[in-house]
Amino acid sequence: MEFVILAVVIALVAIGAITGLVVTSRRKKRLPPPPPSAPTITAPPAEPHVGEEAGPPAAEERRTIEEVGLPGAGATVAEAPA
């Protein structure tokens, strides 16, 4: 009797699986249209990539520590130590 119940359960599972496959194969979903292709960018890269050398640094004046003021402090003049 146990073999009959097992056979019936296996048959029902097989029938359910086959029915599910048939139904899903008949319902073919339409794919959405592909997104438009992105335009190609021909601008040069902003930073050098691996293997490329960076350009020479820009010549700009550098301030010394005496010229840089403290945040929140007024226009104070640093005096030379005696």
Confidence of residue 82 (pLDDT cuts 50, 70, 90): low
Position of tokens 């249209």?
A: 33
What are the pLDDT digits (tens) for 12-56?
999 999 998 888 766 666 778 888 877 777 766 677 777 777 666
pLDDT value of residue 18: 92
pLDDT higher for 49 or 66? Answer: 66
| Residue 8, pLDDT above cutoff 80 | yes
The CA-CA-CA angle for residues 51, 57, 61, to 5°, reads 165
Rounded to whole angstroms, how far apart are CA atoms 62 and 53?
24
Q: DSSP 3-state assignment of 81?
A: coil
